[in-house]
Chain A
Amino acid sequence: MVAARRWAAVGAILVLAFGVRATVADAHPLHTTLTELTTLPDGTPQLVVRVFLDDFSAAVTRRAPTPGAPIPMPADTAVARYVGETVLVSDGAGRRAPLVLAGMRRTDDLVWVTLRAPSVRSMTGAHLTMRVLFDRWDDQVNIVQSAVGGRRQTLLFTKHDASSPKPI
Chain B
Amino acid sequence: MSELFAFGTLGFRHITDPRGADHILFLLALAAIYRFKDWRECTWVVTAFTLGHSVTLALAVTGAVALPSRVIEFLIPVTIVATALENLFVRDRSAALWGRRYRPVFAGVFGLVHGAGFANYLRSLFVDRIAVPLFGFNVGLEVGQLIVIALAFLSFAAIDRAIGVVVSASRRPDLGRPVRIRTLAVSVVVMSVASRWMLERYPW
Chain B residues touching A, majority SS: helix
Which A residues are in CB contact (< 8 Å) with B161? Answer: none
* Cβ–Cβ contact A143 & B19, under 8 A: no
* Cβ–Cβ contact B3 & A23, under 8 A: no
Q: Nearest Cβ in chain B — how far from A52, in angstroms?
A: 7
* Cβ–Cβ contact A14 & B191, under 8 A: yes
- How many A-B contacts at CB < 8 Å in the complex? 94
Q: Contacts A17-B188, A156-B1 known; A30 to B197 CB distance under 8 Å?
A: no
The stretch of A56-64, A81-89, A122-130, A147-155 that contacts the partner chain:
A147-155
Interface string of B1-30 (1 = CB under 8 A from A): 111011101100110010111110000000
Interface string of A127-168 (1 = CB under 8 A from B): 000000000001101010100000011111000000000000
Q: Contacts A24-B20, A154-B3 known; A143 to B10 CB distance under 8 Å?
A: yes
* Cβ–Cβ contact A10 & B184, under 8 A: yes
- Interface size classification for chain A: 20 to 34
- Interface size classification for chain B: 35 or more
Which B residues are in CB contact (< 8 Å) with A18? Answer: 192, 195-196
* Cβ–Cβ contact A30 & B122, under 8 A: yes
* Cβ–Cβ contact A10 & B1, under 8 A: no
* Cβ–Cβ contact B188 & A13, under 8 A: yes
From B126, B174, B200, contact of A2 by CB (8 A): B174
CA distance A100 to B122 in the complex (A): 28
Interface string of B170-204 (1 = CB under 8 A from A): 00001010000000110011011101110011000
Q: Does B111 contact A (CB under 8 A)?
A: no
Kindly report which residue of chain B lies nearest to residue A9, judged by CB atoms: B184
